[in-house]
Amino acid sequence: MRLLLIEEDARRCAHIRERLISWRPHAELVVHRPVAQGALARDFLAQGFDVVMLADEWPGGRGLTWARELSGRAGFAPIVLLCQDKDSSVAREAGAIGAFTVSGADLERETFAHVLAAAERRQAHARAIWRESRAGRETQRFGDAFVRGYRCIRRLAAGATSDLYVAESERVGALVALKVARDRQDEQQPVDAFRRFLQEYEIAQRIASPAVVRLYDLGVSDEHAWLVMEYFALGDLRRRMRSALSPREALRFAGAVAEALAAVHAAGVLHRDLKPGNVMLRQDGTIALIDFGLSKDAALALDVTDTGMIFGTPHYMSPEQGHAEALDARSDLYSLGVILFEMLTGEKPYRAENPMAIVYKHRKEPVPQLPAQFAVVQPVLERLMAKLPAERFADAQQAGAALTETLGNWLAHGRET
């Protein structure tokens, strides 16, 4: 059994876990804290859970209010509402919307196990019907690919070689991002898209760091390769930058990216396509790097690009990357410098009418000057965006320390907090 418990009280969570395990030793309890984590995602149906159990109340919220909303989502998992008294008006209203109820006293009795078992049977029946129905089969289709166990919610983006969807995973018990590589590749594409796609999984799985996107699954269906990864409801840094960032926020984001790069580089990987769109934001305020399809992995000796070819995004490329020269970790630091400049000014450091002109400017034009009010940041930007790798920070850890020190200096001089 897999139970999702919506509760804030840590002691009651522990007690319910104890009671559940005493009945089902291998049961899984996942706790969602409504105050800290907010409402369940609008498209979430809890299809990966047998039961969703709601506390009667918590600071600023009531289980019955949530039960009303969740029960209105077609296909949502069975709900069990914890009530003070099973004969109360709350319990009667819960029953009217199809929810099960248990009282605090029931937790100590066999009644608790009986209610959960009844909810579990209801969910098993609903799953069986859904999987075999035409609608159920159609919701497991992602473009031309059929991916069992995932419910397609919507397409997020379409790229040259793959499509990205938001889906719900039964196994993960959460919304996920599902990327499907197309089976037919453009003959003009110089890189095997499948090979690049599969490399993402190999690299991200091996870097044991929360600073990298979590990867859940990989497979092939109907001649389509697909990859399942963490879904970021807040989107990426590019989206966040559409609203002006404060200098403090910009420096903190840059420091977090430097920390993430340190973990990536420690695993023998160069990202090679660092840009705001590849820096994702989590609800808890942390960041995660994504898209390792262009990465160089020294440990696995993988490099999907041919010698002399240029891959990446021109606006964020180091001078050496733009000229197809040998790269090391300091190339990613240059890209971080470009991102820092853009976060502070709202503009890219070099602009031109075509990509090759931008590449030329990265090599030939001086490091851009920040506006006078950001003068305290200019020294760290000079090091990050130095034209020669030898003049940049030695590694991401050193860059991160410098960014932290710069933030401290910024705040110490009485600037915005």
Residue 49: its H or E element: none
- pLDDT tens, position by position, 308-350: 444 557 899 999 989 888 889 999 999 999 999 999 999 999 9
Among 13-17, 131-135, 186-190, 278-282, where is mean pLDDT lowest? Answer: 186-190
Q: Which residues fall within 8 angstroms of residue 52, CB to CB, at 6 or more apart?
A: 3, 4, 6, 46, 70, 76, 77, 78, 79, 80
DSSP, residue by residue, 129-184: HHHHSHHHHHHTEETTEE-TTEEEEEEEEE-SSEEEEEEEETTTTEEEEEEEE-SS
In this predicted structure, which of 17-21, 102-106, 223-227, 337-341 has the lowest mean pLDDT?
223-227
Count CB atoms within 10 A of the CB of residue 241.
18
Q: What is the mean pLDDT of residues 125-142?
A: 91
Say what the pLDDT of residue 42 is.
93
Is-same-fold flag (139-230; 237-412)?
A: no
Residues 6+ apart with CB under 8 A from 242: none
pLDDT interval class at 307 (50, 70, 90): very low
Does the domain at 139-230 match CATH 3.40.190.10? Answer given as no
* Look-up of token digits 């993960």: 172
Q: What is the pLDDT of residue 193?
A: 56
The model's confidence at residue 305, banded by pLDDT at 50, 70 and 90, is very low
Half-sphere exposure of 308 (CA within 13 A, CB side): 0
Correct CATH for 237-412 of 3.40.50.2300, 3.30.56.10, 1.10.510.10, 3.30.365.10 = 1.10.510.10
Enter the tokens of residue 87.
Answer: 């004969």
Q: What is the pTM of this model?
A: 0.85
Which residue in 152, 358, 156, 153 sits closest to 239, CA to CA? 156
Q: Express each pLDDT in 48-68 by its tens digit.
A: 999 999 999 999 999 999 999
Give the pLDDT band of residue 201 (cuts 50, 70, 90).
confident
Region 246-269: mean pLDDT is 95
| Cα separation, 144 vs 184, whole angstroms | 11
Answer yes or no: are the C-beta atoms of 296 and 318 closer than 8 Å: no
SS3 of residue 113 by DSSP: helix
- Which pLDDT score, from 0 to 100, does residue 189 have? 46
For 68-126, how does the pLDDT look when each residue is reduced to its tens digit (9 = 90+)? 999 999 999 999 999 988 778 999 999 999 999 999 899 999 999 999 999 999 999 99
Distance between first and last Cα of the chain: 47
pLDDT for res 338: 97
- Where in the chain are the domains? 2-132, 139-230, 237-412
Q: What pLDDT band is residue 416 in, cutting at 50, 70 and 90?
A: low
Cβ neighbours for 399, distance < 8 A, ≥ 6 positions apart: 258, 261, 333, 336, 380, 383, 384, 392, 393
Q: What does the mean pLDDT of the chain come to?
A: 89
Give the confidence band of 296 by pLDDT, cuts at 50, 70, 90. Answer: low
What pLDDT does residue 306 have?
Answer: 40
Burial class (CB in 10 A: 0-12, 13-18, 19+), 7: buried
Backbone dihedral angles phi then psi of residue 82, each to the nearest 5 degrees: -85, 120
> Mind listing the pLDDT tens digit for each residue in 177-193?
999 987 655 544 434 55
Share of the chain above pLDDT 70, in %: 91
* Model pLDDT for residues 77-92, shown as the tens digit of each residue: 999 999 988 778 999 9
pLDDT of residue 303: 43
Q: 95 and 101 in contact (C-beta within 8 Å)? A: yes
User: What's the pLDDT score for residue 191?
Assistant: 46
The pLDDT assigned to 302 comes to 41
Task: Give the mean pLDDT of 13-26.
Answer: 95
Residue 184's pLDDT is 53
Q: Does domain 2-132 have CATH number 3.40.50.2300?
A: yes
Q: Would you please indicate which residues are annotated as catalytic (active-site) residues?
A: 273
